[in-house]
Structure 1
Amino acid sequence: MNNSAVTNVCVTEKRHAKIVKSALEKEGALDKSFRLCNIHASYEAKYEECLSTCDVLQESSKYIALPIHKEKIESFLKNKAGSSELQDAIGLIHSYGVQSCRFSSAVMGNTQRQLSLTANNDLNPVQNIVLQTIRKNEASIQQPYVGLGTKIENMVRALSKVDAPPKLEVMGDDRSLVIPYQSLNVNTKSPFQLLVHELFGTASDEQSLFLSSLWEELARLYRSQRVVRRGEIDPNSKVRESGHCILWINQELAKSFTSDYGPGSRGWITVTEQGIKQSLDFTKVMFSRGNISEKIRFGKLVKEGELVLDMYTGIGYYTLPALVIGKARHVYSCEWNPHAACFLRYNLKQNGVSDRATVLEGDSRIRLEEENVIDLDFHRISLGLLPSSEGGWKTAVKAIRKDPGGWLHVHANVPTHEHEEWALWMCRKISQLCQDLNDDSACQAHVICNHIEKVKSFAPKVDHIVADVYVGIKIPSNMDLEGQNNVGILCRKREFIRSSIDICPPSCALGNGVLDQGWMM
């Protein structure tokens, strides 16, 4: 057992856990420094002379261990004190003992709680874990740092400068722990690199052992089996390849790997959102975080029986909600990253919707023409490419149903103060593309931005937004607009703002369709 994580526990059946926990908490007998956990091999029945215990726990999966303050429980039993609620709860306790339990700390949800009794108040929870790991590896520290205990103040001062967020990100159903690229990185010039090099030398076995110990301690704190470092994103990368790397894996988990690619590989992860499973190898492709509300919104916008086109699908971020939530008749999904396309097919199968989806691998602007899909008159088209999907607008205009009309959902990175300016320019641009088609229905089409949704902040003063744009020859009754060839936006006050013919492009316009984020620098 790991002595640093051993606590006194009482054991009760899981069906009684809520009652017992509530009563212990009210009496101050619940040790909140630890988490509730299942009975496992480390459990040992203790102090039988004071408390009644059972020799063997049968069917341990039925029981749960609640961390307790032993002295208070002993006092309650000896003096028969406490409320009637506590007395009833004690009657539901099966046995008492000790067990190694997971810490419950600031990074597990309560940002005010200390990691342990040895935590330093001048450091945040993650910095405290670094401090504890250094102290555990004190024997490996090179001169002149032998005798670290006498230099603890200097160590705390150095650690307070280390780039370590107070709370780390946990990703996926298996709770993989994600370390930011710049945090706790010995490969970048930082206070952490300087500290580790001074303590353990550069590229030494001692340094490697310390780092492995650090990842393991953080994983234990977060109840994780795998620690990964987030990679840097190349803003000019067309396929957004992942730069994630695996720092540490639990040995038992490592034994379960059965392949080098796809399901069963070291980087394979499943993220379940609203019942939709999204699986990928995060060492191959990036996972878009923070878009869950927009995925759900898009799924709800899709009407049952619609024909949907997803021009930039990834692993299925908007395709899957359209099929699972919206019950679309069929979705054509375009993706040019071969890894993402492979994982997309897997996700369609695991969500049971592959029979209503067609994957077109390659550049959507080319593949839709090659497969004669461009003329299917789609009810709804998702253009979920950042920083801009401008390069695909012409293709989308060709593919959208114009009689009576259809919807484009246009994603973009836009300066916070330019949302409406960008939307007005975008509507005018799409209207011009409609006229260039030499199609009577296209020439008569109204282009109206009905809603602008902020998905999230992308960078300081830059937002990821989505514009819901109606393109069609008939105006929906709920828009309540009059006049011919309406081009513009319904603003927040639901007043219609027309887009002038000579409107200037906003600062984030790409113009030539090339993916370039230079305007944000």
Structure 2
Amino acid sequence: MATQQLGHKNRHSKPKPRQVNPITAAIQSWIATTLPSTESETQDSRNENLLSTAPKRFTIYEPLALLPTGSFTSETWASVLQTCDEAACNSLWQSILKEISKTGQGKVTHLAVNEGIPLHKDGEDAENVRRSPSGLRMLFGDFGPARVGEQPKGSDFEDAFWVGTKQNGILQTWAPRWTMFSRGNVKEKARVLGFNRPPAGREDVWAVDLYAGIGYFVFSYAALGMRVLCWEINPWSVEGLRRGAEANKWSVKVIQGEDLALPMKTLLAGGEKIIVFLESNERASKRIAEAQSAGLASNISHVNCGFLPTSEPVWESAWEITRLAPEAWLHLHDNVGVADIENRRAAIQATFTTWAAAASGGRGGSRVPSVEHVEQVKTFAPGVWHCVFDVCITGGSISNNGT
């Protein structure tokens, strides 16, 4: 009987009020307290339009709240914000930050709009190879100095604004004014973590990342227990990688400046988990060959080639630097039309088969490459996928017990 009464009570209990979107709540409050009034009919239409065109989503990278591309750019918003003074605008941004902080996902003090990564440098035809986020629209908060030299100093790094997040249990950090962060890579980073760990006690298994960035895939290999050699040309990304490695309690060494002239035997002698070279990856093949001639970094079991729209310029280097490993995996990132994925896979297979034949004087040779898998990471554009082609190469010249 008591159960029936309880059920009867539950059937007639009031539903919980629907939670208001924090950005919507902030805008409603701002409209009521700060935005100047207009004629009644015009004001109602304006306010309704402001709410309907405002962003509803946000991403938190503590202490930054990042809004989606195009936020607050509708005709109504552009008109209203243009007529508001700085204090009124800041009141809006602070109200949004306050409401987002109430969601319990983290305290945020800075607000920006993610306008994507431009393909070219501002006002130039040159490619934006460093992937600097010059389109970032900063709305509120001190994001650090707006200008630094091509080669930033330690004081520049200290004065910059840094944010962080955790994905797959791994911490990453970056300066959003100077460095991109690709949230969509989380699935691919988790997939890398699914590869086999080196046997316990084996410290001779290496990974190489030829486009290290802030450590997207570098950290996955480090978490698997490998030592990692990596290359990156953006000093801000390298600093983010260094800070992130330390946050995860991995030893790290940055090779730059005059140290780049030192022999590889000296550079690798410290035993650090992660060694990052602040230079073009065009030097990677020669450096690794030097290390291998000294009996170091022979067993390179993974090479990540994570550059879009294609990482093809480094594929032959990836093939060469894994020549000694008994088994090596190359992860080749490429943008491919959805209808062309299988053709691209066949073309990659043919390319590596040709290199294998050439290396053995046309006799077929002992190294056998095979495109084992194609991972469709995420859509890059309509009808275009960011793919990763996994090439497994067996038959290297060192034994499984080799160094």
SS of 2:194's equivalent? Answer: helix
Identical amino acids, percent of aligned pairs: 20
1:175-214 map, 5 Å: 176-185=64-73, 190-197=75-82, 200=83, 206-214=84-92
2:194 aligned to 297, 300, 312, which one? 300
**CA contact 2:373–2:390 (8 Å) conserved in 1:** yes
The match for 1:462 is: 384
Change (3 A) 1:29 1:191: closer
| Post-superposition CA distance 1:201-258 (Å, at most 9, x none) | xxxxx332232122112112211322122243122411101223432139xxxxxxxx
The match for 1:166 is: 56
1:65-214 map, 5 Å: 104-106=19-21, 126=24, 129-130=26-27, 132-138=29-35, 141=36, 146-156=37-47, 158-159=49-50, 162=53, 164-167=54-57, 169-172=58-61, 174=62, 176-185=64-73, 190-197=75-82, 200=83, 206-214=84-92
The match for 1:232 is: 116
SS of 2:283's equivalent? Answer: helix
Counterpart residue identity of residue 59, structure 2? V
The match for 2:240 is: 343
Q: Which whole-Å CA distance do the structure 2 matches of 1:385 and 1:424 have between them?
A: 20
What is the TM-score with the length of structure 2 in the denominator? 0.73
* CA RMSD after TM alignment: 3.1
1:388 aligned to 288, 310, 315, which one? 310
Counterpart residue identity of residue 281, structure 2? S
Is residue 289 from structure 1 mapped to residue 183 from structure 2 by the alignment? yes
SS of 1:378's equivalent? Answer: strand
Change (3 A) 1:442 1:393: farther
Q: Structure 1 residue 332: deviation in Å?
A: 0.7
Q: Structure 1 residue 385: deviation in Å?
A: 1.1
SS of 2:221's equivalent? Answer: helix
Q: Which whole-Å CA distance do the structure 1 matches of 2:172 and 2:231 have between them?
A: 17
Change (3 A) 1:374 1:183: farther
| Post-superposition CA distance 1:86-107 (Å, at most 9, x none) | xxxxxxxxxxxxxxxxxx5235
The match for 1:65 is: none
| Post-superposition CA distance 1:273-323 (Å, at most 9, x none) | 222111111111001112112112102214224321111111111111111
Q: Which whole-Å CA distance do the structure 1 matches of 2:358 and 2:282 have between them?
A: 17
Change (3 A) 1:403 1:248: closer
Q: Number of paired residues? A: 333
Change (3 A) 1:310 1:32: same
SS of 1:358's equivalent? Answer: strand
The match for 2:140 is: 248
**CA contact 2:55–2:67 (8 Å) conserved in 1:** no
| Post-superposition CA distance 1:173-222 (Å, at most 9, x none) | x252112342214xxx844213434xx2xxxxx33223212211211221
**CA contact 1:302–1:327 (8 Å) conserved in 2:** no
Change (3 A) 1:374 1:395: farther
Counterpart residue identity of residue 225, structure 2? K
Q: Which whole-Å CA distance do the structure 2 matches of 1:211 and 1:378 have between them?
A: 53
Change (3 A) 1:196 1:344: closer
Change (3 A) 1:364 1:158: same
1:416 aligned to 338, 354, 369, which one? 338
Change (3 A) 1:290 1:218: same
Counterpart residue identity of residue 106, structure 1? N
Q: Which whole-Å CA distance do the structure 2 matches of 1:238 and 1:468 have between them?
A: 24
The match for 2:99 is: 221
Change (3 A) 1:129 1:378: same
| Post-superposition CA distance 1:326-360 (Å, at most 9, x none) | 111x1111111111112212222221222212112
1:256-271 map, 5 Å: 261-262=156-157, 265=159, 267-271=161-165
The match for 1:86 is: none
Counterpart residue identity of residue 341, structure 1? V
**CA contact 2:113–2:137 (8 Å) conserved in 1:** yes
Q: Which whole-Å CA distance do the structure 1 matches of 2:363 and 2:12 have between them?
A: 74
Change (3 A) 1:241 1:463: same
Q: Which whole-Å CA distance do the structure 2 matches of 1:402 and 1:26 have between them?
A: 70
1:315 aligned to 192, 202, 214, which one? 214
SS of 2:183's equivalent? Answer: coil
**CA contact 2:300–2:325 (8 Å) conserved in 1:** no
**CA contact 2:212–2:232 (8 Å) conserved in 1:** yes
Q: Which whole-Å CA distance do the structure 1 matches of 2:132 and 2:325 have between them?
A: 39
**CA contact 2:27–2:51 (8 Å) conserved in 1:** no
**CA contact 2:377–2:387 (8 Å) conserved in 1:** yes
Q: Which whole-Å CA distance do the structure 2 matches of 1:398 and 1:129 have between them?
A: 56
Counterpart residue identity of residue 318, structure 2? A
**CA contact 1:361–1:367 (8 Å) conserved in 2:** no
SS of 1:359's equivalent? Answer: strand
| Post-superposition CA distance 1:143-191 (Å, at most 9, x none) | xxx54545333214543673x3322x2222x252112342214xxx844
Counterpart residue identity of residue 283, structure 1? R
Q: Which whole-Å CA distance do the structure 2 matches of 1:229 and 1:190 have between them?
A: 17
The match for 1:407 is: 329
| Post-superposition CA distance 1:435-493 (Å, at most 9, x none) | 4446789844322111111111222111111111112348xxxxxxxxxxxxxxxxxxx
2:169 aligned to 264, 269, 275, which one? 275
**CA contact 1:302–1:380 (8 Å) conserved in 2:** no
1:327 aligned to 225, 232, 256, which one? 225
Q: 5+ residue gaps in structure 1?
A: 1-24, 34-103, 108-124, 201-205, 251-258, 475-521
SS of 1:406's equivalent? Answer: strand
**CA contact 2:348–2:371 (8 Å) conserved in 1:** no
Q: Structure 1 residue 367: deviation in Å?
A: 3.6
Change (3 A) 1:215 1:27: farther
SS of 1:222's equivalent? Answer: helix
Q: Which whole-Å CA distance do the structure 1 matches of 2:324 and 2:95 have between them?
A: 58
Q: Which whole-Å CA distance do the structure 1 matches of 2:348 and 2:42 have between them?
A: 61
More relative contact order in 1 or in 2 (CA 8 Å, sep 6+)?
A: 2
The match for 2:104 is: none
